[in-house]
Amino acid sequence: MNTGEIIKKRRQELNLKLDQIALYVGVSKATVSRWESGEIVNMRRDRIAKLADILKLSPATLVGIEQQVNSAIHQSNAAIINTVKVPVYGKASAGNGYLNLSEEVDVFEIPADMYKPGMFAVNVTGDSMTSNNKSIPDGTVAVADPTMCASPDSTNGKVCVFTYNDETFIKQLIINSDGIIRLRSFNSDYEDILVLKPKQLKCEGRVISTFTKQTW
């Protein structure tokens, strides 16, 4: 409701007449009528205060500010995203580091509509997956889906959490036409990891999303 509608509705609820309002506020009956019709939309602060007093409303309610705030709060609440907690495992190397997938160190909340059973997250360390074009920077939380590691072909060219030679990395899987497998970094300063023992390479989960933790 606008201010005029609020004034009229409240006046009628209190069984007040236009001239009673006018006398209390110190204006003419016609002015009150024009407030209610919306013909006059701007009022002096002292008149807003007196009008709010006789109508037993707060000035904010009278001019519609409170209603706008409540509406904004309602819209904000409606926009709240449901989340699901997934386990966080150690720190996955974006360099030459190590990750212990058997040790849960934290939990991380992701949107519920993204979640699938078995999903997990890792804290990324290092700069090997950082470049000008695409990047998983140091400090990122990477969320991985194990169900998307069905076969090497399905992960070729994708960024995944891999375990190889008892070390765990976040790398891009590259399989060339000769079947040679490499784990590649986005950062060209790092050499590819050549997978000489393919049977020892395990995809723990394909990275489906990354998040940056906010610090204030």
Structure tokens at 120: 């997990």
Do residue 143 and residue 103 come from a single domain? yes
What's the CA gap between 170 and 32, in Å, rounded? 70
Averaged over 146-171, what is the pLDDT? Answer: 86
Do residue 97 and residue 158 come from a single domain? yes
Q: How confident is the model at residue 81 (pLDDT cuts 50, 70, 90)?
A: low
**How many Cα atoms sit within 13 Å of 46 on the Cβ side?**
4
pLDDT at 172: 93
Q: How confident is the model at residue 207 (pLDDT cuts 50, 70, 90)?
A: very high
- pTM to 2 decimals? 0.58
Judge contact between 4 and 37, C-beta under 8 A: yes
For residues 61, 62, 65, 71, the Cα torsion angle rounded to the nearest 10 degrees is 60
Count of domains observed in the chain:
2
Judge contact between 183 and 193, C-beta under 8 A: yes
Do residue 204 and residue 120 come from a single domain? yes
pLDDT at 144: 92
Domain extent at residue 162: 83-212
Give the model confidence (pLDDT) of 118-127 as tens digits.
Answer: 889 988 888 8
Do residue 20 and residue 61 come from a single domain? yes
Do residue 97 and residue 133 come from a single domain? yes
Helix (H) or strand (E) holding 153: helix 152-155
pLDDT at 65: 47
What's the CA gap between 28 and 114, in Å, rounded? 62
What's the CA gap between 166 and 150, in Å, rounded? 20
Looking at residue 174, which CATH number applies to its domain? 2.10.109.10
For residues 13, 14, 17, 19, the Cα torsion angle rounded to the nearest 10 degrees is -130
Do residue 136 and residue 172 come from a single domain? yes
76 pLDDT more than 50: no
In the chain, % of residues over pLDDT 90? 23
